[in-house]
Amino acid sequence: MPKLHIRTEINGEPAEFLAEPHQTLLDALRNELGLTGTKEGCGTGDCGACSVTFDGQLVCSCLVLAAEAEGARIGTVEGLASGEALHPLQQKFLEHAALQCGVCTPGFLVAAKALLDRNPDPDERTVRYALAGNLCRCTGYDKIIRAVLDAAAELRGEPA
Amino acid sequence: MTQPRSFRYVGTRPIRQDGAEKVTGRANFGADLSFPGMLWGRVLRSPHAHAKVVSIDTSAASEIPGVKAIVTSADLPEQRPGGDPTDMYDLTRNILAREKVLYEGHPIAAVAATSREIADRAVAAIQVEYELLEPVLDLDRAIAPDAPILHAELRCAGSDPKPEGPTNVASRILIERGDVERAFADADVVIEREFTTPTVHQGYIEPFACVARTTEDGQSTLWCCTQGPFTVRSLCAALLRIETSKIKVIPSEIGGGFGGKTTVYQEPLALLLSRKSGRAVKMVMTRQEVFRATGPASASRIRVKLGAKRDGTLTAAEASLAYEAGAFKGSPVVAGAMAMFAMYDLPSVRIEGFDVVTNKPKVNAYRAPGAPMATFASESVVDELAASLEMDPIEFRLKNAVRQGSVAVYGPKLKAVGLVECLEALRDSEHYRTPLSENQGRGIACGFWFNGNMQSSAQIHVNEDGTATVVSGCPDIGGSRASLALMAAEELGIPVEQIRPIVADTETIGYNDGTGGSRVTYATGTAVIEAARDIVLQLRQRAAAFWDTQLENVGYEDGKAIPLGDAAENQQPLPLSTLARRAARMGGPIVGRSTWTARGNGPSFAAHLVDVEVDPETGRVEVLRYTAAQDAGKAIHPSYVEGQYQGGAVQGIGWALNEAYFYDAEGHLQNASFLDYRMPVASDLPMIDTIVVEVPNPNHPYGVRGVGETSIVPPLAAVANAVQAATGIRFVDLPMSPPAVLAAIDRTRG
Amino acid sequence: MHDTRYEAPRSIEEAVIMLSSGSVDDVRVLAGGTDLLVQMTSGGRSPSLIINLKHIPELTRIRFDDSGALYLGAAANAFTIGQNERIRQQFPGLHEAVGLIGSDQIQGRASVGGNLCNASPAADTIPSLLTSKAVCHIAGPGGATRTLPVSEFILGPGRNALQAGELLVELELPAPAAHSADAYQRLIPRSEMDIAVVGVSVRVTVDNTGTCTDASVALGAVAPTPILVPEAAAALVGTRLEPADLERAAAAASAACRPLDDKRGTAEYRRRVAGVLTKRVAAEAAERARGR
């Protein structure tokens, strides 16, 4: 079976790659495209470390076939920062020490951005449920939740 | 010892130096490195929990196009038994099974092929003939007289009289002091209970991953996610019986470890495969493999008996601990025994411990190894004693808490410790006074962990513009680069932003024991402080030579060499940046170094307070509020200290409520996934409030205590005590999952 | 291991032709992918053909007809359904069930059609489909179509009534009667991310005196398939849904369970909690129905 030629858009830029029909998008991002910011923690959709957006929809890239990316828009952690400036979520994660080992961080950032894009003013409970698909074993989530709430406030233009 | 009265940088919260890389996805973790032409390694694992390996046939697998190397135990040299701290005879058998497979997931062979799919196909093509044996899956079965024996050569160490026959009990230990019988006779109240806890896993999010590459001269490089790159190097050198200088280990960023990444699994296999194939070989475990075949934490059965006088004074403690080691001896039962009563001034103690092998993966360290389960038992009984004496649980603990001068149950006379301060902080907290509603309960428990010692070395390089690089050899698992940079900034008197802390490979820095035992900020931190002081001395020497004066006429303050005495009259201070710029003319590059073996003890104590609500109809327990108070000695970077308290508390909550390995009768793990191994998710939890107590550790220049591990010790009992308060039921078996809680509620309802 | 082919048909006709091209076991459709990809990566063998249904407009469509009946495309994802305000208003219990499927990430992929076709005993949406009397619209070879009630669509754990070459196109949920409402709750050890240990859907219709005129109760994870419990429904009909009435329904629900002991819960626990949740969910549905 020849590989599939996939044309897609990743973080706003056109991208092409070859994929096996059974290959996951996560595998293609990491091993075909060298975008290793998206992490694999379980491969079964249970940890959220591989979170990306697919046509604007938050998904686990381990549960998406690479072939599905044909004609789609993919967003990964590598696309969050613009030029030299970190996204406010990234900045707040750093300020609040919301990462310890940091391996879950890309997935949390992508998921948190998806939340804030549709709900700019979530309360703590909403943030906790929206991020329930992202496992963190280091922080106990406290500082992550604070960072997301703080980033939301900043994005709304409220004084800290 | 020059202890600064106040700190300029220590105690502030700068952004970690590795932060930008980690929030942008650039940081390289274990699985993130690849090479052109790289092979993928996969492991054949036993589907059986206990069986003899009759034969292994790799011929069909080796015929598959794309397969470049296959290894079995025949490729690893035999080792001599009895090594310390690592028994290499056992370790080589854990890396690749020899005579027997001892747990489901036990590696039997490894394959390197041009793709992961081909490697998987080759693994499936290896033929193994097994002779099935009855698996030993719990402590009861392991010690039964007719139990199947895992290791025919195993004899119980420390048993009296000397054992004759083979056994599954690898060792017996005893800690004894005072006259326990008499002390119990003096007690007004004695409570005795037996507890059990299940096998649990560290649950780090990053699976084990490594890449090995070997050149034709036999020189190997290994990139891997590990807590101890030097440990990996020495274990691999011993397993492969090659010289240490033939292996360079480059630690990647590490996605969590909690003690679990302190040994080797696939690393020696990747090395072997790369040596055999001449190609780079990458190996990444699946989550299932992580659960089935990397060291979890011991299941345990613990009996505790405690006596107290009517006024609340503890008189005596007795305990018997049995810990599952998994397939090979070496559970942390000794540490559990030492830690379980360490919070209390107890004149008479007798603790017996047993290390028991079972057909499960060999256990490995998990955050304060051995202590959480033992303290679950001891702190549950302490709570019950307080209640039976109608004493407030905090006051009861305060009455018996260790203080400076107390002789710890585990041996030494304690210097300043902060348990009393932690308990007082909780007693005086708003949390402790807040009223509770129906079906809610509040629990408290204390915990202790040692302060890690062992070997550290560090270097600091001053750059030509006066900025500096701090080089250490302990992987940064939770912000230790930031802490080390802060300590260097404090000594050198330059802003922390001008310091770049790096974690070096095993050829770039002297030997360092691993990141573990709560030792990095304490032990490696001291090494960094000493390396910085080495630089300060050199700067003063250079200034003295420049000013043509004696060394004692040169001080150092705020990043400047300061003229003192005679020199002060006609010399201006020389900033570090100036000395750095003139290095070529003043003695050459400025490099500070230090090396030491940390000793002494500066333990960190904690007390945790938790409110829960129990649904009496479903048995679900919800954590409503949590406050963790712990002695940090001195918090170098307070955010990361708080983070350790919060993370440990939540791991403990998981252990208390829902985490457990679930085996079927044949020893197959039924829940080897994050779906069914239920670690807490964000929506399970409230904020975790922290109280950072600072009682300086006399053994550290700044008073630092290791804080990483103590925080997982109290939560098991704290949650159980809260559930008891909510339901009136004392839970002695973990986890307190909804079915277990509802069944207990039903039993008491009759 | 053999090679896998991937196709993304644009029409039902194309998809049905592809489905007919191989044995049922060897051809797998990808509606959400949350189960299929896990099966493929967790050691299962790869199918010879994967048919991605997400490019077929009828399969991702969500619409209401003039009667108020809801038509859910079989591959419409849970997240999109969750964002649909009219579904939340009209089928609050189904909306709750869809919202409980996995994480936001999983919901971005998972489909109600896939949830139904996989026929897991613990599937969150099936009890709600049962109490809403949902009907499956199925396309087959040669332009054939047929309909089948959800209650007849599920044959056993992991088994559904689709024949070779057949495709589940959409689910039709009839417009609820006036003063009718549904609710769904499940018991999981954590607050999110678990598979249901017990799931309960209840739909009740009340008259303007508050008396229950019609009821339906369905349970998940307590038997080889999700089950309707007519005895529990009967205990509610004709009552004013007072606590004692709910208790009778709860007892009937518990009695109908044929649960297993497994890693997710004991049989006894499932039986007990099926009753507890039936009581709670019926109360919730009643309150909603009275408010209409």
Measure in Å the smallest separation between the Cα of C148 and chain A Cα atoms.
30
B190-201: pLDDT as tens digits: 999 999 999 999
Measure in Å the smallest separation between the Cα of C121 and chain A Cα atoms.
20
Residue A5's closest chain C neighbor by CA?
A: C6
C-alpha of B219 from chain center: 31
Average pLDDT over residues C38-66: 90
Q: Check pLDDT > 80 for residue B721.
A: yes
- Enumerate residues 427 to 486 of chain B having a beta carbon within 8 A of any beta carbon in chain A: 477-479
Q: Check pLDDT > 80 for residue A160.
A: no
A14-43: pLDDT as tens digits: 999 999 999 999 999 999 999 999 999 999
- Return the pLDDT at A83: 82
| Domains in chain B: boundaries | 19-26+455-598, 39-133+206-255+261-293, 300-451+600-749
B650-695: pLDDT as tens digits: 999 999 999 999 999 999 999 999 999 999 999 999 999 999 999 9
Average pLDDT over residues B256-270: 98
The rounded mean pLDDT for chain A is 96
Q: Check pLDDT > 90 for residue C26.
A: no
Pairing of strands C180-187, C167-173: unpaired
Residue B420: pLDDT band with limits 50, 70, 90: very high
Q: Check pLDDT > 90 for residue B396.
A: yes
Domains identified in chain A and CATH numbers: 4-79 (3.10.20.30), 88-155 (1.10.150.120)
B99-134: pLDDT as tens digits: 999 999 999 999 999 999 999 999 999 999 999 999
Please give the radius of gyration of chain A, using alpha carbons only, rounded to the nearest integer.
16
- Return the pLDDT at C23: 62
- Enumerate residues 22 to 61 of chain A having a beta carbon within 8 A of any beta carbon in chain B: 30-31, 34-44, 46-47, 49
Average pLDDT over residues B537-553: 96
Q: Check pLDDT > 90 for residue C43.
A: no
| Least-confidence region, from A54-68, B314-328, C21-35 | C21-35
Q: Check pLDDT > 90 for residue B82.
A: no
Encoded amino acid at A142, one letter: D
Look up the CATH superfamily of B39-133+206-255+261-293: Aldehyde oxidase/xanthine dehydrogenase, a/b hammerhead (3.90.1170.50)
CATH architecture assigned to B300-451+600-749: 2-Layer Sandwich (3.30)
Which ipTM was obtained for this model? 0.98
Residue C1: pLDDT band with limits 50, 70, 90: very low
* Cross-chain Cβ contact C272/B742 below 8 Å: yes
Q: Check pLDDT > 50 for residue B1.
A: no
A126 touches chain B (CB under 8 A): no
B278-295: pLDDT as tens digits: 999 999 999 999 999 999
For an interface test with C, give the residue of A40, A52, A54, A65 to mutate (most C CBs within 10 A). Answer: A65
* Cross-chain Cβ contact C191/A45 below 8 Å: no
Using a CB-CB cut-off of 8 Å, the residues of chain C touching B618 are 187, 273, 276-277
- Return the pLDDT at B4: 45
> Which CATH code of 1.10.287.3510, 3.40.50.970, 3.30.365.10, 3.40.50.720 fits the domain covering B19-26+455-598?
3.30.365.10
CA distances from B596 to B232, B511, B528 (A): 21, 10, 11
Q: Check pLDDT > 90 for residue A85.
A: yes
Average pLDDT over residues C74-80: 97
Average pLDDT over residues B431-438: 98
The helix (run of H) or strand (run of E) holding residue A107 is: helix A105-118
Domains identified in chain C and CATH numbers: 5-52 (3.30.43), 57-173 (3.30.465.10), 180-290 (3.30.390.50)
Read off the tokens for B160: 């009296």
Higher model confidence: residue C46 or residue B512? B512
Q: Check pLDDT > 70 for residue B497.
A: yes
Task: Assess whether the region B39-133+206-255+261-293 and the region B300-451+600-749 belong to the same CATH fold.
Answer: no
Average pLDDT over residues B146-150: 97
Q: Check pLDDT > 70 for residue C99.
A: yes
SS3 B662: coil
Closest-CA residue to B34 (of B395, B309, B280): B280
Measure the CA angle with vertex B711, ends B709 and B716; round to 5°.
Answer: 115
CB burial string C257-282: b at 16+ within 10 A, e below: bebeebbbbbeebbbbbbbbbbbbbb
> What DSSP line would sit under A134-154, residue for residue?
S--SSS-SHHHHHHHHHHHHH
Using a CB-CB cut-off of 8 Å, the residues of chain C touching B619 are 269
